[in-house]
A and B are shown apart, each in its own frame.
Chain A
Amino acid sequence: MLEVKGLTGGYGRIEVLHGVDAHISAGEIVTLIGANGAGKTTLMRIISGVQPLIAGKITFEGADFTALAPHKRVAAGIIQVPEGRQVFRPMSVEDNLRLGAYRRKRTPDADLERVYAMFPILKDKRHLAAGGLSGGQQQMLAIGRAIMGNPKLLLLDEPSMGLAPIIVAQIFDVIRQLKAMGITIFLVEQNASAALAISDRAYVLETGRVALSGPAREIAGNADVRKAYLGI
């Protein structure tokens, strides 16, 4: 579904990614683990098109997406839930969700109901400003907003960051539900053990290079990964 080849990118003159190759097949959950500063968020941003790449190629469903504008990638079904939620704070919860469907022709009321069914708390607070929600609720809103865009490939950047354990469990449960709905998921997580447990495959990113890749179970069993990322 998505293939990146030789991706090189960074901020200004500082190169963060040095030739990353990866692919994601339809229906998979693929996890990307790596230390802070390894380039995980940069990779996500380049796939979404909000950050230019220096070299490399991005192919999505057989089409060359390397130079495509971000809004066209959203229309094609690549939707990102960014790190730190990034909800539209002054706007109402419902406006946030409706904006998620900005690139779609019709107003998808059925999808709105589906998101509310998934996160009932958002329905209760639908007229409140998103900035007043708790961190966990904002994360639910950010995921709900992405679902409104009808994603084929959902990029989740650190969805459990800074959340209480009970909320984290809920978020991982939602990720499983999304997979069951047929959405392909590319997940970046600090909480590597929880992420690997729900993933099909994984990549380990170290200082801008893919150090390791393979089935999630194998990665979770790798001695170096266990020591470096799982704290075992």
Chain B
Amino acid sequence: MLAQFLQFTMSGLTVGAVYAVVGLGFTIIYNASGVLNFAQGEFVMIGGMVTVFAVAAGVPLPLAILLAIAVAAIVGIGLHRLAIEPARDASPVVLIIITIGGALVLRGIAQLVFDKQLHKLPGFSGDTPVNFLGASILPQALWVLGGTAIMVALVSLFFAKTMIGKAVLATAANRLAAQLVGVNTSVILAISFALSAAIGAIAGILVTPITFTHYEVGTMLALKGFAALVLGGLGNPMGAILGGLLLGLCEQLSAGYISSTYKDAFAFIVMIGVLLVRPSGLLGSKLAERV
């Protein structure tokens, strides 16, 4: 009984961690530029696919991981420069559609450059499950959770302690004022796309040994990451993390106890339920401001 609950919880947290990172990536770009980037899931796909193919080509795993992160970051910057920046003054809806177009292009390229097969990586610390109170836990799940926790901590530090992080926040708060204090806002936006792509890729790499990867894996991840974001509260990084973990838990617990056929539906039903009660999300900010 407990073992089963632990099992479902653990797999929920593992999946949820990936949603959380995708949601965090959404938040970083949304906060800096006001764009909801639906190509966010493709960064996760690129992270997994590039690592898989680099390893298959004989590149040692740590190097393959760095390569995948770099490729994703470059793709992120390219997406900003080629697709978002030229349409800077377009309305938010147009920008969202542009990112969806970007996602389709990236998926198409991945299909050509790589292939249409499912791929997996060996677990970083082996694939032998560890027994914990009767539940069998993959060591890779601990990599996912630990890696996510470290990424979240580093991203928080980046925004709280570094001048560049603060410049990203300043650009988000008031782009004109940021320009007037000397922030080069187009560089800042490129940095936020690169950062968001890099963390997405890391999540993709960490989770590939458990969930496999595929050129189309980004579609559902972008939707789930967005759901996590909305659930937690748009624009709040901690909200995205909380939303992601909750969504993962809902999904796996409902799949385990009720039916796995409807696990995607359960996740979205929970989201709709929360939004009916709290339209601004769980941690949605209601900052008191004087005008």
Stretch at the interface among A92-100, A112-120, A215-223: A92-100
Chain B contact patch, size range: 20 to 34
One of B163, B166, B180, B290 near A74 (C-beta < 8 A): B180
Encode B268-291 as 1/0 by CB contact (under 8 A) with A: 000000000000000000011110
Return chain B residues, CB-CB under 8 Å to A132. 288-290
| Distance between A73 CB and nearest chain B CB, rounded to angstroms | 8
The yes or no answer to B36 lying at the interface (CB within 8 A) is no
The yes or no answer to B183 lying at the interface (CB within 8 A) is yes
Complex Cα gap A112–B288 (Å): 26
B181 and A145 form a contact (CB under 8 A): yes
| Distance between B169 CB and nearest chain A CB, rounded to angstroms | 6
Return chain B residues, CB-CB under 8 Å to A70. 179-180, 182
B180 and A50 form a contact (CB under 8 A): yes
The yes or no answer to A82 lying at the interface (CB within 8 A) is yes
The yes or no answer to B184 lying at the interface (CB within 8 A) is yes
Complex Cα gap A19–B169 (Å): 37
B288 and A91 form a contact (CB under 8 A): no
One of B183, B184, B288, B290 near A134 (C-beta < 8 A): B290
| Distance between B161 CB and nearest chain A CB, rounded to angstroms | 11
The yes or no answer to B91 lying at the interface (CB within 8 A) is no
The yes or no answer to A149 lying at the interface (CB within 8 A) is yes
Return chain A residues, CB-CB under 8 Å to B288. 132
Return chain B residues, CB-CB under 8 Å to A79. 180-181
| Distance between B6 CB and nearest chain A CB, rounded to angstroms | 39
Complex Cα gap A99–B170 (Å): 8
The yes or no answer to B177 lying at the interface (CB within 8 A) is yes
Complex Cα gap A95–B161 (Å): 10
Return chain A residues, CB-CB under 8 Å to B184. 69, 71
One of B169, B181, B289 near A102 (C-beta < 8 A): B181
The yes or no answer to A202 lying at the interface (CB within 8 A) is no
Complex Cα gap A129–B182 (Å): 21
Encode A25-59 as 1/0 by CB contact (under 8 A) with B: 00000000000000000000000101000000000
B176 and A82 form a contact (CB under 8 A): yes
Return chain B residues, CB-CB under 8 Å to A102. 163, 167, 181-183
A-B contact count, CB below 8 Å?
78
| Distance between A99 CB and nearest chain B CB, rounded to angstroms | 5
Return chain B residues, CB-CB under 8 Å to A135. 290
Most buried by A among B174, B180, B183, B287: B180
Return chain A residues, CB-CB under 8 Å to B174. 86-89
A82 and B166 form a contact (CB under 8 A): no
Cβ < 8 Å to A, chain B residues 164-223: 166-167, 169-170, 173-174, 176-184
Return chain A residues, CB-CB under 8 Å to B180. 48, 50, 70, 74, 79-80, 82, 86
Return chain B residues, CB-CB under 8 Å to A129. 287, 289
One of A48, A75, A99 near B166 (C-beta < 8 A): A99
B290 and A133 form a contact (CB under 8 A): yes
The yes or no answer to A90 lying at the interface (CB within 8 A) is yes
Return chain A residues, CB-CB under 8 Å to B163. 98-99, 102
Chain A, Cβ-Cβ closest to B285: A90
Encode B214-234 as 1/0 by CB contact (under 8 A) with A: 000000000000000000000
| Distance between B241 CB and nearest chain A CB, rounded to angstroms | 19
B173 and A100 form a contact (CB under 8 A): no
Chain B, Cβ-Cβ closest to A45: B176
One of A69, A75, A86, A89 near B289 (C-beta < 8 A): A89
| Distance between B69 CB and nearest chain A CB, rounded to angstroms | 27
Return chain B residues, CB-CB under 8 Å to A69. 184
B173 and A89 form a contact (CB under 8 A): yes
Cβ < 8 Å to B, chain A residues 99-115: 99-100, 102-103
| Distance between B84 CB and nearest chain A CB, rounded to angstroms | 19
Encode A121-138 as 1/0 by CB contact (under 8 A) with B: 000000001011111000
| Distance between A93 CB and nearest chain B CB, rounded to angstroms | 13
Complex Cα gap A47–B174 (Å): 19
B179 and A91 form a contact (CB under 8 A): no
Residue contacts A-B, CB under 8 angstroms, 25 given: A48-B179, A69-B184, A71-B182, A74-B182, A86-B177, A86-B180, A88-B173, A88-B178, A90-B173, A91-B166, A91-B169, A91-B173, A98-B163, A98-B166, A99-B163, A99-B166, A99-B170, A99-B183, A102-B182, A129-B289, A132-B288, A132-B290, A133-B290, A134-B290, A135-B290
B→A interface (CB under 8 Å): 163, 166-167, 169-170, 173-174, 176-184, 287-290
A-B contact sample (9 more), CB < 8 A, given A88-B178, A131-B290, A145-B181: A74-B182, A75-B182, A79-B181, A87-B174, A89-B173, A90-B287, A102-B183, A129-B287, A132-B290
